[in-house]
Amino acid sequence: MINRGLRGQAGVALMLVLWVMVLLTAISAEFVLSMRTEVNITRNFKEETRAYYAALAGIEEAKAEILSASGLVYIDEDGLLVLGEEVPVREGTFGNVRYSYTVIDEERKINLNSATPQQLRNILSESGVEDAELDTIVDSILDWRDADDLHRLNGAEEEYYRSLPKPYSCKDGPFDTVDELLMVKGMTAEIFFGAEDGLKYKGVAGYLTAKSSGMININTAGMPVLEAGFGPAVAENILMQRSAGPLLVPEAGGMVDSSYFTVISTGRSGKINRTIKAIVRKRDGNAVETLYWNDNRQGENRQKDIWTQINAETADL
C-alpha cells in the first residue's frame, strides 16, 4: 500500500513538473517573441530615422541646386529638368544612407488661382472632361476661389457644400494646394488623377498648380499647358523652336526661367524608405522659401483611394 501511494504521489509530482515545464516553455517563447518584436521595432525606428534625415539631406541639396542656378530653366533631350548649365547627379549619401531627389518645375503648369475660365476649360477638355461636367467644374473653381458667396450658373457656394453628407465650407479664397481641387463640385478622383484605363480621363493633377508666379515657362511646359495658355498655333511654334534647343528669349507672354519648384526626396536605409515632398520658391537675395511641406508621403499616396470613396458617396448629389 505504501509503495502504491508513493508511486501515485510520484506520478502527480511528475505531471506537475511537466505542466510547469510546459508553462515555462510557453512563457519563454512568448518572451523571446516579444523581445524579437521589440528589437525589430527598434531597428525599424532607427532605419526610418536614418532614412528621414537622408531625405532631408536631399531636400537641402535640391535647395542648393535651385539657389545656385542662373539663367534658363528647361527640359533637356532626356526629359530631365535643367537649372542652369547641366543636370547634376540628383543622388548621394548622408551618414552612409543613400538618397535621391527629383525637381519639378511648377511654372510648367497652369496656376489655379490666376487661370482664366478659358484656360481652365482648355486644360480640362484636354484631359477628357466634356459638356455639363466641364461647365460645372469651371464655374465651381471660379466660385471656390472668389471672395463672394454668389454662385455662377453651374457653380457652387456655401449652401451646396454644407448640404453634402460630410459637409464643409466653400473656400472663397485662393487654392493653397492643387489637391484642394478635389473638394470642388464636379471634380472626381478619376478626373483629377486620371482613369485607371487611361481612356476616358487623362488626369489634370500634373498640369495644374497652386504655387507659381502665374506665368508659364515655355521651355518646360508640355503641349496641353502650352495649348491651354497660348492656343494651338503658338504652342506648335514653341515646340518647333524647342526642338532646336531651349528658347533664350521669352515670347507669347511666357518666360524662360522659373522660381517655383517641387522637390521630392527619398532616403533609403535598409528596407525602409522615407519620402519628403516640398514646394519651394527661389527669392531674390539668395534665399529659398518653403511654401509647402509633406513628410508623410505614405499617407499622401493613399489619398486617391480616399477621394474615390468620397466621390462615390456624393455622386448623386
The pLDDT of residue 10 is: 67
- Among 72, 312, 91, 107, residue whose Cα is nearest residue 229: 107
Q: What is the DSSP letter of 2?
A: H
CA–CA gap between residue 208 and residue 108 (Å, rounded): 9
Q: What angle do CA 47, 303, 61 make, to 5 degrees?
A: 45
User: Exposed, middle or buried, 77 (CB in 10 Å: 0-12/13-18/19+)?
Assistant: exposed
Handedness of CA 81, 86, 88, 89 (dihedral sign): positive
Blockwise average pLDDT, block size 10, the chain, 317 residues: 61 76 78 69 82 96 92 89 88 94 96 96 94 95 96 96 95 95 96 83 94 96 95 95 93 94 95 94 89 76 45 43
Contact 278, 163 (CB under 8 A): no
Give the phi and the psi of residue 74 in degrees, each rounded to 5.
-150, 170
Contact 305, 93 (CB under 8 A): no
In the three-class reduction of DSSP (H, G, I as helix; E, B as strand; rest coil), residue 144 is classed as: helix
The pLDDT of residue 7 is: 62
